[in-house]
Amino acid sequence: MVAQVRHPIWLPAARAPGARTFAILFTLESFARASVASVIPIQAYELLRSEQSVSLTYTVVALLGLSATILMPLAIQRFARRRVYTAGVLLLGLGSLCLVTGTLAGQLGGMLARVIGASALSITLNLYIMDHIRKTQFIQSESLRMAWSTIAWMCGPTLGVTLYSQFGLWAAHGAVAIFAAILLCFFWYFRLSDNIAIRPGKTKPANPLANIGRFLAQPRLRLAWFIAFGRSCFWTSFFVYAPLLMVVTGQGSLAGGLIVSAGNALLFTALLWGRLGARFGARRTMAVAFAGMAVGLTVTAAAGEASPWVAGAFLLVTAFFGVALDALGSVVFMRAVRSHERAQMTAVYRTYLDLSELMPPLVYSIVLIFFGLGGVFASLAILMAVCAVVTWHYLPRRI
């Protein structure tokens, strides 16, 4: 009798995950999201024919997505991170499948699926980063992650709008499915392991409402959330209202895609902002960035619909300062959160993105009753000024 021995020579030893691993995953995820970032608001406007209705649509979707984000730790405890991450990727594809229907129901369902998918990907990826990257390397890792995603956010919106304009919905959203499939292959190739401290178990999961209370009881976490909320309010507004500004003023959908791509191209400066943060301190750098954004948005509001290209130019100036918050903002949370609470606190922290997609459109829908699109940017400038003051006065010098 001959013994049968299997030698798993086809499975090479996986390298320890590092900053480049997460940069690759985030870049692929960014391609899947950025390729229709400018298409979705234009698609919504063509269905609804009203800037105010588009704002209300985003408000409803963000409100529903917020509930999913709060409950995400329960899913991670029940199914493990790798499965939640996989589900997030699949939801991006499902969202595009809904959006190609060209109906209002499909628009709402597709936007919601993308929001929930993005939430799952963001939370699980942040947990993997905090498991595998040292705290002293967070600034370097985050700036590298943002810099690598530059090409996705630079080319994606223009690619999506071009496909949409030339070939229709199927072409634009088909690109999302391709990028999502590539992302899923790379994720399983890297074989990231779950932290045993938060793997599925038999203990009863913590109450999501208790997680919120625990989060609010920690001043450093509250501050990290507010900084991230301010940063995200700008980017969510930029992705929606920069294309709308171009379309409403007759410049065309392609012009809107180009503005968004140009703003995203500035992500390559994340490495520069990372060095400035290490040299002058995260507090000083982020406060200056928020102040610069407030000034840029004020000029944008003054130009408004009367001078759309001037407004677009200063939106790009604002985006340059916004990249500083992308490079440094998450570091505040990553250094403040306790290791045994990462899953629960990351889910609560991630609500900044849901609320930044909920609150601004709600405010803008009221502002747009009395003012034009310039009022949107003026409202955002006020928030950025408040963020600058809060960051300067309350963020510790050593962060």
pLDDT in tens, 303-332: 888 888 899 899 999 999 999 998 888 888
What is the reported pLDDT for 110?
Answer: 94
Flag whether pLDDT at 229 surpasses 80. Answer: yes
Residue reference for tokens 């049968």: 4
Helix (H, G, I), strand (E, B) or coil at 217: coil
- Residue 38 identity (one-letter amino acid): S
What is the reported pLDDT for 318?
Answer: 95
What is the reported pLDDT for 178?
Answer: 94
Task: Provide the percentage of residues in the chain whose pLDDT is more than 90.
Answer: 32
What is the reported pLDDT for 259?
Answer: 85
CA distance 201 to 198: 8
What is the reported pLDDT for 56?
Answer: 81
Over residues 36-54, mean pLDDT: 83
Helix (H) or strand (E) holding 49: none
CB distance 350 to 330 below 8 Å: no
What is the reported pLDDT for 18?
Answer: 78
Q: Which is more confidently placed, 98 or 270?
A: 98
Domain assignments of the chain as residue spans, ordered by start: 19-199+208-394
Reported as a pLDDT band with limits 50, 70 and 90, residue 158 is confident
Taking the alpha carbons of 38, 157, 384, 375 in that order, is the dihedral positive or negative? negative
- Residue-wise pLDDT for 369-390, tens only, equals 888 888 999 999 999 999 999 9
Q: Give the number of other CB atoms < 10 A from CB of residue 237.
A: 22
Residue 266: DSSP 8-state: G
What is the reported pLDDT for 8?
Answer: 44
Flag whether pLDDT at 222 surpasses 90. Answer: yes
What is the reported pLDDT for 382?
Answer: 96
The tally of CA atoms less than 13 A away on the side-chain side of residue 291 is: 10
Taking the alpha carbons of 380, 381, 386, 389 in that order, is the dihedral positive or negative? positive
CB distance 26 to 145 below 8 Å: yes
What is the reported pLDDT for 63?
Answer: 82
CB distance 294 to 273 below 8 Å: no
Residue 145, class by beta-carbon neighbours within 10 Å (0-12 exposed, 13-18 middle, 19+ buried)? buried
- Chain mean pLDDT for the chain: 84
Flag whether pLDDT at 240 surpasses 50. Answer: yes
Over residues 61-73, mean pLDDT: 82
- Residue-wise pLDDT for 80-139, tens only, equals 888 999 999 999 999 999 999 988 899 999 999 998 999 899 889 988 888 888 776 777
- Tell me the CATH number for domain 19-199+208-394: 1.20.1250.20
Q: Number of helices (H) and strands (E) in the chain: give both, helices first.
A: 17, 0
Flag whether pLDDT at 41 surpasses 70. Answer: yes
What is the reported pLDDT for 267?
Answer: 81
- Which H, E and C letters describe 331-363, residue by residue? HHHHHHCCHHHHHHHHHHHCHHHHHHHHHHHHH
What is the reported pLDDT for 186?
Answer: 93
What is the reported pLDDT for 399?
Answer: 63
CA distance 114 to 103: 16
Residue 105, class by beta-carbon neighbours within 10 Å (0-12 exposed, 13-18 middle, 19+ buried)? exposed
Taking the alpha carbons of 64, 108, 381, 122 in that order, is the dihedral positive or negative? positive
Q: Which of 76, 5, 117, 109 is nearest to 341 (CA)?
A: 76
CB distance 33 to 155 below 8 Å: no
